[in-house]
A = this chain, B = another copy of it.
Amino acid sequence: MTVLVKIAFDGTNYRGFQIQNDAVTVFGTFQQALLRILGHETQIKGCSRTDSGVHAKCFYLSFDTPKQLDLRRLPLALNGNLPPDIRTLEAVQVPDGFHARYDAKGKEYTYYILNSHIDSPFFSGYYYKVAAALDVESMQQAAKNFVGKWDFSAFMSKNSSVTDFVRTVSYADVKKDGDMIKFVVRADGFLYNMVRIMAGTLVSVGRGQIKAEDIPRIIQGRDRSAAGPTAPAQGLFLTDVFY
């Protein structure tokens, strides 16, 4: 059977999702837990590569097994073999050959910015702190300009394997709740560091260093240096995956 597992993780203590030599990753940690339960090795496919320190409220993994697993009990069994910062939320059977990454139709990321000069005593490690007062309305207007089918080269860190830079952003919005500013973006796919560069650019807009109405020109210019800085990983959460 092919199984799709939904997990959530706090990325603070991991070097991202993917396998890396000599580094503790979410993937490696999950792989060990699954091996203990299945009793055999299997190729695990993750829905996304995530950077070191990035979090996920919703992340999917798929794998094949010749065994007939009781999928209602699998989350409990996995959680018993996982550290508290990785939790299995759900497991469902999917058609043979299903791939958590290639079958994903889109994803949603949420980036948290704490607009304060004082850190939160509660959510340390889950936001990017910006002390300078941010103009949230401008950030909101800027975010709207991300929506559409564009070549997002200007919002990508150098990365060897990708050759198609066109992505379709279906939703992008900025909301404020107290001191916390939340940037939510949905697309059919994301380039390397795309959300973090968008978030860094929105902070530049909020500080008045980039104008909201300049976003279309920055996209069209396809020049990374025209966009804002790459915001830190710790503010970034993968919050949904669409199949």
Contact = CB atoms under 8 A, between A and B. Distances in A.
21 contacts: A8-B120, A8-B121, A8-B122, A10-B121, A10-B122, A55-B122, A57-B122, A75-B118, A79-B118, A84-B119, A84-B121, A84-B124, A85-B121, A86-B121, A87-B118, A87-B119, A87-B120, A87-B121, A88-B118, A89-B118, A122-B126
Copies assembled? 2
Interface in A71-116: 75-76, 79, 84-89
A128 interface: no
Nearest to A118: B87
A9 interface: yes
Interface string A120-144: 1110101000000000000000000
Interface string A23-55: 000000000000000000000000000000001
